[in-house]
Amino acid sequence: MTTEFTPIASAIGGAMIGVSAVLLMATHGRIAGISGIVVRMFPPYLDKDAGGRFMFILGLVAAPLLYATLTGTWAAMTIAASTGVLIAAGLLVGFGSIWGNGCTSGHGICGLSRLSVRSLVAVATFMTTAIITVFIARHLF
Amino acid sequence: MSLLFQFLIGLLFGTGLVVAGMSDPAKVQNFLDLAAIPSGGWDPSLAFVMGAGTLVTYLGYRFVLKRKQPLFDNQFHLPKKTDIDAPIVMGPAIFGIGWGLGGFCPGPAFTAVGTGSVQAIIFVVAMLAGMVAARLLALRQIEAATHTSKA
């Protein structure tokens, strides 16, 4: 399944994510790391902001509907993986993101912006294993 | 008001993901597929998302973090750890395998749920299970370490 190279749309979307991350820091003093926001919706609660985190995630879920309403088309989405692979992928993404204190947003966008060495190590590591995984899944099987 | 802001900020984040094309796992996997460069199947879009997102955040944080406190809290909550320990390598290594397999990381998985995809819901349920398990394990380790240092 080929996809079109979209440098301008992707840069605009990336900038919107950046503005969102800056706003979350300005209003709530929090890193816009999705994995951290998600897991803190669940007990044990270490602070009182689980409701706010739920609202943030609700915003993520509502985004495609807003996009479809504004543009008249739903965003393209192709899920190539089988259900079994998706379950395994979900478990790995979930466990790994929390074990490593962050995912693509927390370490990628926010951590790199703070010039964090830990985040740089994290990004380099997950990019490497993800590239190797796609290579094995697509070209060796 | 605080809750409404968090909803709107999440909505902006999610719309950014959709505009960037990152809600499509095929686009993410095509970025990760470096072996497709010779055949023209490589899609470098994700680099532009990361580049623009990081640049805007870098500039915005410089401005915001000079302030005394955020609007709805009395302090900024920034990560304090700086050491390179085993989890900062092992966690992302595991995360990357899952990201490559499914083409989903946590943010896009939730926007995909918003399109009504059953496959995305299945992924998210598995992801939540993985997250809660990792957090319980991490908290238990911290507790064990605290007890040891007291004794």
Q: Quickly list DSSP for A2-52.
A: -----HHHHHHHHHHHHHHHHHHHHHH-----HHHHHHTTSSSPSSS-HHH
Q: What is the mean pLDDT of residues B65-94?
A: 96
pLDDT digits (tens, 9 = 90+) for B14-25: 999 999 999 999
Q: In the predicted model, what is the mean pLDDT of chain B?
A: 95
Q: What is the mean pLDDT of residues B104-128?
A: 97
Q: Dig out the tokens for B150 from the structure.
A: 């007291």
In the block, residue with structure tokens 């379950």: A87
Q: How far is A38 from chain B (nearest CA, A)?
A: 8
DSSP letter, residue A137: I
Q: Is residue B151 scored above 70 in pLDDT? A: no
B141 and chain A in contact, CB less than 8 A: no
Best to test chain A binding among B127, B132, B140, B141 (most A CBs inside 10 Å): B127
Q: Is residue B125 scored above 90 in pLDDT? A: yes
Q: How far is B2 from chain A (nearest CA, A)?
A: 7
Q: Is residue B150 scored above 80 in pLDDT? A: no
Q: Is the peptide bond before B92 cis (omega within 30 degrees of 0)?
A: no
pLDDT digits (tens, 9 = 90+) for A32-49: 999 999 999 999 998 889
Q: How confident is the model at residue B146, as a pLDDT?
A: 85
- Backbone φ and ψ of A123, nearest 5°: -65, -45
Q: What is the mean pLDDT of residues A112-124?
A: 97
Q: How far is CA A3 from CA B17, B22, B114, in A?
A: 16, 11, 21
User: What does the alpha-carbon distance between residue B13 and residue B137 come to, in Å, rounded to a whole number?
Assistant: 29
Q: What percent of chain B has pLDDT over 70?
A: 98
Q: How many residues does chain B have?
A: 151
Contacts of A52 in chain B (CB under 8 A): 2-3, 6
Q: How confident is the model at residue B116, as a pLDDT?
A: 93
B142 and chain A in contact, CB less than 8 A: no
B76 and chain A in contact, CB less than 8 A: yes
Reported ipTM: the value is: 0.97
